[in-house]
A and B are shown apart, each in its own frame.
Chain A
Amino acid sequence: MAKLVLSSGGSVLYQCFLDKDRVGIGRESHNQVVVDDAAVNGEHAAIFQVGNDHVLEDLHSTNGTFVNGGRVLRHILQHGDVIEFGALYLRYLNPRATSEIDLERTMLVAGLYASGDDARHARGSLAAEVRVPSARAARIRFPRGRVSAIAGSRAGKTIELDRVVALFGKSGDQLAVVTRRPHGYFITHVEGLRFPRVNHQSIGRGSRMLNSGDVFEVADEKLEFVLD
């Protein structure tokens, strides 16, 4: 369960579990977390639970709410976050709320719409106007590579390989794809009767890892691969 730890100068003053839908933070004694500091408002901030998240909200405080050194109005708390109030630190501890993608199994919860509202969306017209982005990338590092075109329509140009795939060759004639993966770049045949050539050798139907300095040919393009 999520926990808040209030500390000052390295000593723990107070700790509590976040087991309510709303936990108030401020100088006044009716708050769940009382922060006795002149720079803190009577009702300074609150933490709301929504699903698996704890969301910290600033309640229009005079001096603002800071998390890990940055000012926030609303912030989804992550394990280890430090909320600062002058000389006092409030640390949020919840091993399940790491920025790594969670391994929670799918669960059913109530939606936020009143049932009537949702029924309005239930049929027909609604495509998604709102995009929910994918999860923040975990600590996955991708290599940085590029190709310089030696011959073909892009001769003399340098093409950064900074996306998951990049196409080379000519559609309808011969196409190959260069794929960026965590452990390197790979070239694969996509379409056409001829296979791509790497250092003058056909790669066939399979994939081949590219090493820095490799020269590959697809349709009328000839390119040199360079890895940082």
Chain B
Amino acid sequence: MIPSLRTQWNGPLRYFQLRFRKFRTMAHHFLEVVSVTDAGRVRQYNEDSIAIDRNKGVMALADGMGGHRAGEIASNMATEIILSSLRANVAKFGSRASDLSPMRAVDQSINRANKAVYEAAKTQSTYRGMGTTLVVALFHDNRVALGHIGDSRIYRLRGEVLELLTRDDSLLRDQVELGLISAADASASHNRSLVTRALGIDKNAAAHVREEDASPGDLFLLCSDGLNDVVEDTDIELIVRALKTNLPLAAHHLIQAATDNGGYDNVSVILAKVVKPFPATKRSRWLSRLFGWIR
């Protein structure tokens, strides 16, 4: 019995070495970011994608859908376009030449990604019907702009409490919210895989965008439904609360909990901890206020 246990335990370790991406915390940086993505125990492919630029405070996570591995294409396309679009725009915040706000930049980047996935799905027959869920976080000036479409999620751990900041675009959530089934019954439903919105399906993305403040000590969690479909929020909260001083271990524990509870789906997490305040530089802040006021 012991050897088989060893093998089971070596699995995650091996993967830990191969697939773990840790962004070394430099003392001067305001964010500590760790991400992990895993195919799970059942699926052959990983259709989740992650893209991060910690220096610009940008991160995106997507869970693709569509046959013949098109989901992989869609999620990868979406996260890469979001990343490059936001990277290019970060410098514009508060500048004289532009009145772009982080929230509008996030919205724009999502629309750009939507258009690209939509066009690709329309023109290439193997990509037909592909789409993806998406969550985006852009940290700027002690705030974070959040974008969201589909059933991937963003949580924030502040103090001892984990708060869900997004609202799933899913049939199940509609059913529970409208009182058609009770929250208790929802765990017996088979509608978990049915989303009501996704990126790349329509000409217009119709994403949800909002802004929250981000204070030192806050820990943001972006995840695909492979995590929260099988791990209760209370357990997610317990893990991130207990292990917030060791983010790689926290991320590893989240993935492991999903795997231990079945591992039926691809699962991805990004953990981003605000280490210190990150106000925009004085000049641009003043200008951005002015522009914000004029607008």
Give chain A's interface residues, CB within 8 Å of chain B.
50-53, 55, 74-76, 78, 96-97, 99, 101-113, 121-138, 140, 163-167, 171, 175, 177, 179, 181-184, 186, 188, 190-191, 206-207, 209
B245 CB within 8 Å of chain A: yes
- Which residue of chain A lies nearest to B6 when distances are taken between CB atoms in the complex? A209
Q: Which residues of B contact A190 (CB under 8 A)?
A: 242-243, 245-246, 249
Q: Which residues of A contact B193 (CB under 8 A)?
A: 52, 102, 104-107
B185 CB within 8 Å of chain A: yes
Q: How far is the CA of A51 from the CA of B256 in the complex (A)?
A: 30
Q: How far is the CA of A138 from the CA of B264 in the complex (A)?
A: 11
Q: Which residues of B contact A76 (CB under 8 A)?
A: 181, 185, 188-190
B22-30, B79-87, B171-179, B287-295: which lies at the interface? B171-179
Q: List 24 A-B contacts (CB under 8 A).
A: A51-B190, A76-B185, A78-B188, A101-B192, A101-B264, A103-B264, A105-B193, A108-B197, A111-B174, A111-B197, A112-B180, A122-B208, A123-B208, A123-B209, A128-B164, A128-B166, A130-B176, A164-B235, A164-B238, A177-B243, A177-B253, A190-B242, A190-B243, A206-B13
Q: Is the CB of A177 within 8 A of B174?
A: no
Query: What is the count of residue pairs linking A and B with beta-carbon distances less than 8 angstroms?
Result: 190
Closest CB pairs A-B (n = 8): A111-B196, A51-B191, A112-B174, A52-B190, A106-B65, A104-B193, A136-B187, A130-B177
Q: Is the CB of B191 within 8 A of A52?
A: yes
Q: How far is the CA of A129 from the CA of B174 in the complex (A)?
A: 12
Known contacts A136-B188, A166-B242, A184-B5; 9 additional CB pairs below 8 A are: A51-B189, A76-B190, A105-B193, A106-B193, A121-B208, A122-B206, A128-B164, A134-B228, A177-B243
Chain B nearest CB, measured from A210 CB (Å): 12
B5: contacting residue among A124, A133, A179, A183, CB under 8 A: A183
Known contacts: A127-B165, A164-B235. The answer to whether A140 contacts B260 by CB under 8 A is yes
B235: contacting residue among A55, A163, A207, CB under 8 A: A163
- Which residue of chain B lies nearest to A54 when distances are taken between CB atoms in the complex? B190
- Which residue of chain B lies nearest to A166 when distances are taken between CB atoms in the complex? B242
B32 CB within 8 Å of chain A: no
Q: Which residues of A contact B210 (CB under 8 A)?
A: 123-126
Give the number of chain B interface residues (Cβ < 8 Å).
72
Q: Which residues of B contact A121 (CB under 8 A)?
A: 167, 208
- Which residue of chain B lies nearest to A175 when distances are taken between CB atoms in the complex? B245
Q: Is the CB of B190 within 8 A of A127?
A: no
B38 CB within 8 Å of chain A: no
Q: Is the CB of A50 within 8 A of B171?
A: yes
Q: How far is the CA of A164 from the CA of B243 in the complex (A)?
A: 12
B239-280 Cβ-contact flags toward A at 8 Å (1 or 0): 100110110010001001100111010000000000000000
B243: contacting residue among A111, A163, A165, CB under 8 A: A165
Q: Which residues of A contact B133 (CB under 8 A)?
A: 106
B229 CB within 8 Å of chain A: yes
Q: Is the CB of B168 within 8 A of A132?
A: yes
B146-183 interface (Cβ within 8 A of A)? 151, 163-178, 180-181, 183
- Which residue of chain B lies nearest to A179 when distances are taken between CB atoms in the complex? B253
Q: How far is the CA of A125 from the CA of B238 in the complex (A)?
A: 27
Chain B nearest CB, measured from A130 CB (Å): 5
Chain B nearest CB, measured from A176 CB (Å): 11
Chain B nearest CB, measured from A201 CB (Å): 18
Q: How far is the CA of A53 from the CA of B176 in the complex (A)?
A: 13
Q: Is the CB of A126 within 8 A of B167?
A: yes
Q: Which residues of B contact A191 (CB under 8 A)?
A: 245-246
Q: How far is the CA of A216 from the CA of B63 in the complex (A)?
A: 41
Known contacts: A50-B191, A209-B9. The answer to whether A132 contacts B256 by CB under 8 A is no
Q: Is the CB of A99 within 8 A of B188?
A: yes
B195 CB within 8 Å of chain A: yes
Q: Is the CB of B187 within 8 A of A135?
A: yes
Chain A nearest CB, measured from B43 CB (Å): 8
Q: Is the CB of A112 within 8 A of B165?
A: no
Q: How far is the CA of A113 from the CA of B194 in the complex (A)?
A: 15
B198 CB within 8 Å of chain A: yes
- Which residue of chain A lies nearest to B170 when distances are taken between CB atoms in the complex? A132
A140: contacting residue among B42, B63, B261, CB under 8 A: B261
Q: How far is the CA of A128 from the CA of B164 in the complex (A)?
A: 6
B168: contacting residue among A122, A128, A183, A206, CB under 8 A: A128
B38-71 interface (Cβ within 8 A of A)? 42, 63, 65, 71
Q: Which residues of A contact B242 (CB under 8 A)?
A: 165-167, 177, 190
